[in-house]
Structure 1
Amino acid sequence: MADAEPNLHVANTTAPEAPAKPSLRKRLLTGIAGAVLIAGVGYGGWYALVGSHYISTDNAYVGADTASVTPMVAAQVAGVAVSDTQQVRKGDVLVQLDDSDARIALAQAEADLAKARRQYGQTSATSAALAAQVQARSADISRARAQLVAAEADYEKARVDLARRQRLAPNGAVSGEELTSATNAFSSAKANLELARAGVAQANSTRGAATGELAANNALISGTTANSAPEVLAAQARVDQARLDLQRTVIRAPVDGVVTRRAVQVGQRVAPGAQLMLIVPINQLYVDANFKEGQLTRVKVGQPVTLKSDLYGGNVEYHGKVVGLSGGTGSSFALIPAQNATGNWIKVVQRLPVRVQLDPKELAEHPLRVGLSMDAEIDVSKN
């Protein structure tokens, strides 16, 4: 009996505690449900007041409009002044080409220019000589006309003398010899008259030829000078081209940036248009952020963007603005675009690149490189 009492006491002490377990579990579940409810309400309020004003993506990458360095003339490379990863300023010498051929071409063009100017001077002098010839031919015409007048007078005198002797010859007043002499004189005077007329015609023709030559020569120099004549201008253009080709043997940086993909060596012969290297303008970088098509409803040009780079982590923020949306999705411009006209088509959410312009001052403080990953967040509440 003594042993039974403790067992009975234990039973009496444990029986009232059993109903407390369901009450504790209920309170715990109720607390969790309340916490979830409060969190949901809080998130809903935060999203309605703040979160709905922003869209974000981690599918964003740094880009740049790189400058391709290409030669304008064909020549052998005499020297390369830069290497990959080297930072250059606009105008810095990148590559020196052998300029021997260009110097020879310039000297030849300058000689052609001097020859063209000398020919212009010769043409001008020829005009003066032709003008003198025209004046000389005019004097020849005057002399020929004077000879014609004399020949006409001689002809008229010989004709009168012959006519008088012919009237007197039947009466025997004129001898046959005198009549014959008068007839010969008349024939000679007539021939001299025809010769004088031909001389006048020839003098006129010679003056006409000289006048035509003068007009043709003047047409070559009319309204021009030694610097504006067409032949001189053409020669000057060849000189300018040769001088430009000589300048182009020194290849300079077109923009500020960093050298990358250098593909030129000393001794290599390069052709016009061959890519020698790229210059990445790291102070003019931008970001292409690929947002889902459902996020772009309220995206507009000019909206502010906050960005973070994996290179510096979350402690460094970049600020930019939306400058435009791409003309097509990334998949539409892929090398092998997706073909959706099939029986097993499955809809895939597309992404559209949004171009974001970065602040140059922030880029100078924390430089980026092309291809780095970025996190982008657009404030779509701003118009």
Structure 2
Amino acid sequence: MNKQRALIVLTLSLSIAVAGCSSPGKDATLGSAAQPTVVRTAVVQSAPLHTAYNLSGTLQAYEEYTLAFQNGGTVASASLPVGTAVQKGSVMARLDDADYKLQLAQATASILEAQAGIENAQANLQTAASAIQSADAGILGARANVNKVNKGARAQEKQQAQATVDKAQSAYNKAKADSERIQKLFEAGAATAADNENARLNATSALKDLEQAKESLSLLLEGATAEDHQSAQASFQDALAGKSKALAAGEQAKASQKQASANYEKALVAKGQAELALSRTRLLSPVNGVILAKSVNTGDLVASGQAIYRIGAIDRLKVLLPVPDSEIRDWKKGQEVNVVLYEESRQGTISNIYPSTSTNTGTVNVEVVINNPQRNWLPGQVIKAANQVTDKNGILIPAEAVINTGNKPYVFKDIKGKAVKTPVELGDQVVENQLQIVSGLREGERIVVKGAGSLFDGNPIKAKEGGRP
């Protein structure tokens, strides 16, 4: 007999012993003529056998999280009190974000500045490309001029120059003859002064044209001078220098573009960092849970990593039960455990059995997980637990139905309206204030479950059914 059953039976024995102090024979004789005693009865039935260890433990959140800001600063908001239910992703606290917003604005401005630098570098590249093309054209022209100066005039050019001289000579001869003829007419009064002046001017102009044509022909016939060669060569060198300068400008524009692109990428990284820093001024809940502890208040100055809140996920709870080492063999992982809180009963599941025994208490911690979808059980509450260790059935009756006055325990059967004293043998099982009967009763018999303490063998009784014992 275990301690719990012994305690129940001892308590009932004392109360029944006091109630049964009168002489059994006399009371039985009187009882036969007295009115039937009203008692509550029940039919004996088979029920599952459990072992009640009367264990207790404190509920804990299945998962707990300590929340902290990754950046330091002044707490702008942290008003949620302990016990508040929070949803995953909800904002629990904020830091003063003025500095972080300023950093983001500066990073955005740096991006715009870098973009302008890229556009400017691209424009410089286009200018340099145009300058290179122009320099190439200049080089071609200068080289052609050098070649022309070096080779001198071609025969065709000389012939054209001679033809120009001949033509100019003919034009001059005619203009001179016309001027002399009109001069004679003017002196004879047959031509006007204007006609005479025009003829003279035409002759003068034709003479100038003739002289220019002769000079050009003379240059072609004589060839380029040393000064012409030097000038052509100098122009060619200038053209080469112009291209070198244009190429250098192109390389500089490429370097500027590369630097501008690097500045742009750097500005993008800075903006990303500023956005991340700004997002970290909000403290978000990682799970659906309840606030278990709060460490700061609005206006406090906090450091990076300093604890702000501790929250727990309570859709599921867990409890550590201290099971005696001698009984741990009856506990298995995955086994169901009945747990009770304020008369509300639930089924938990053994999720872990710790691999060591406490040297102080001689117990082994057994972790039991309990579903809590309504979140109406809370961390910190104390529950009681019992474990079912067998799937066998047996007879269980209320402890108050068993009478033990020091001799063998007995119960009263209800047989045709009379209380019949029946010795019974108790087993080791105690389930919810019910005792196991291993002999003396059979399933289907009716027994007195309330009022047995005032009965004697053979007393008439009036049964009031009470359902299952």
Structure number having the greater helix percentage? 1
Give CA deviations for 1:119-161 in whole Å, capped at 9, x if unaligned.
Answer: 222222222222222222222222222232233235999xxxx
Q: Does 1:304 align with 2:304?
A: no
Tell me if structure 1 keeps the 8 A contact 2:135–2:240: no
Aligned to 2:290: 258
Give CA deviations for 1:240-292 in whole Å, capped at 9, x if unaligned.
Answer: 43234334333343333332332212321112211012123332311223435
Give CA deviations for 1:146-190 in whole Å, capped at 9, x if unaligned.
Answer: 232233235999xxxxxxxxxxxxxxxxxxxxxxxxx99765455
- Supply the distance in 1 between the matched residues of 2:243 and 2:303 (Cα, whole angstroms): 63
- Supply the distance in 2 between the matched residues of 1:188 and 1:155 (Cα, whole angstroms): 16
- Distance 1:190-1:232 versus aligned 2 partners, 3 A rule: closer
Tell me if structure 2 keeps the 8 A contact 1:293–1:350: yes
- Distance 1:152-1:276 versus aligned 2 partners, 3 A rule: same
1:269 to 288, 301, 316: 301
Q: How far did residue 213 of structure 1 move?
A: 4.2
Tell me if structure 2 keeps the 8 A contact 1:60–1:373: yes
Between the two structures, name the one with larger relative contact order (CA 8 Å, sep ≥ 6). 2
Give CA deviations for 1:196-254 in whole Å, capped at 9, x if unaligned.
Answer: 55345435534543554465566678xxxxxxx55434423433432343343333433
- Supply the distance in 2 between the matched residues of 1:66 and 1:264 (Cα, whole angstroms): 18
Query: What TM-score results when the alignment is normalised by the length of structure 2?
Result: 0.50
The within-5 A match list for 1:171-320 is: 187-188=226-227, 191-192=230-231, 194-195=233-234, 198-199=237-238, 201-213=240-252, 216=255, 231-293=263-325, 295-297=327-329, 299-309=331-341, 312=342, 315-320=343-348
Q: Does 1:358 align with 2:370?
A: yes
Structure number having the greater strand percentage? 2
- 3-state SS in 1 of match to 2:306: coil
- Distance 1:293-1:148 versus aligned 2 partners, 3 A rule: farther
Q: How far did residue 92 of structure 1 move?
A: 4.1
Aligned to 1:96: 94
- 3-state SS in 2 of match to 1:134: helix
Aligned to 1:140: 138
2:378 to 368, 372, 375: 368
Aligned to 1:153: 151
The code of the aligned residue for 1:360 comes to N
- Supply the distance in 2 between the matched residues of 1:330 and 1:208 (Cα, whole angstroms): 84
Question: Which one has a bigger Cα radius of gyration?
Answer: 2
- 3-state SS in 1 of match to 2:369: strand
Tell me if structure 2 keeps the 8 A contact 1:293–1:349: no
Q: Between Structure 1 and Structure 2, how many residues are aligned?
A: 280
The within-5 A match list for 1:23-172 is: 50=49, 56=53, 58=55, 60-64=57-61, 65-154=63-152
Aligned to 1:329: 356
- Supply the distance in 2 between the matched residues of 1:63 and 1:272 (Cα, whole angstroms): 28
- 3-state SS in 2 of match to 1:281: strand
Of all paired residues, the percent bearing the same amino acid is 22
Tell me if structure 2 keeps the 8 A contact 1:59–1:291: no
The code of the aligned residue for 2:234 comes to L
Query: What TM-score results when the alignment is normalised by the length of structure 1?
Result: 0.59
Give CA deviations for 1:95-129 in whole Å, capped at 9, x if unaligned.
Answer: 23222212222221221122122222222222222
- 3-state SS in 2 of match to 1:110: helix
- Supply the distance in 1 between the matched residues of 2:293 and 2:52 (Cα, whole angstroms): 36
The code of the aligned residue for 1:329 comes to S
- Supply the distance in 2 between the matched residues of 1:108 and 1:330 (Cα, whole angstroms): 61
Q: How far did residue 194 of structure 1 move?
A: 4.7
- Distance 1:259-1:330 versus aligned 2 partners, 3 A rule: farther
Extract unaligned runs of 5+ from structure 2.
1-45, 156-221, 392-469
